[in-house]
């Protein structure tokens, strides 16, 4: 079974992301720096996201909260 989440990392921010549930090892909240879309200059702002860790398969930052991701599992 799979879960559908929303990517929070540049350049794929806002794009759908589908992950196989069985591959998820842990989920946790973290802070990343993302480009501020409200400025002309390349300014980074901090954003709190949820990290989905799948071991050697990869790690993804998503917009959903830890509770929302946990609820999908």
Query: Alpha-carbon distance 40 to 21, whole Å?
Result: 39
Residue 46 CB burial class (10 angstroms; 0-12, 13-18, ≥19): exposed
pLDDT recorded at residue 11: 80
The distance between the two most distant Cα atoms of the chain, rounded to a whole number of Å, is 42
pLDDT at 44: 81
Question: Tokens 């799979």 correspond to what residue?
Answer: 2
Q: Cα separation of 61 and 32, whole Å?
A: 9
Global pTM value: 0.81
Report whether 63 contacts 6 (CB < 8 A). yes
Instruction: Give me the tens of pLDDT residue by residue for the chain, a chain 73 residues long.
Output: 999 999 998 788 899 999 999 999 999 999 988 777 766 667 788 889 999 999 888 999 999 999 999 999 9
* pLDDT attached to residue 43: 77
């Amino acid at each position: 079974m799979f879960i559908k989440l929303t990517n929070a990392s540049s350049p794929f921010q806002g794009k759908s992301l589908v992950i196989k549930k069985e591959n998820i090892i842990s989920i946790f909240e973290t802070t990343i720096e993302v480009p501020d879309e409200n400025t002309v200059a390349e300014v980074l702002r901090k954003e709190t996201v949820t990290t989905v860790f799948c071991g050697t398969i990869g790690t993804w930052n998503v917009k959903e909260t830890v509770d929302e991701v946990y609820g999908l599992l």
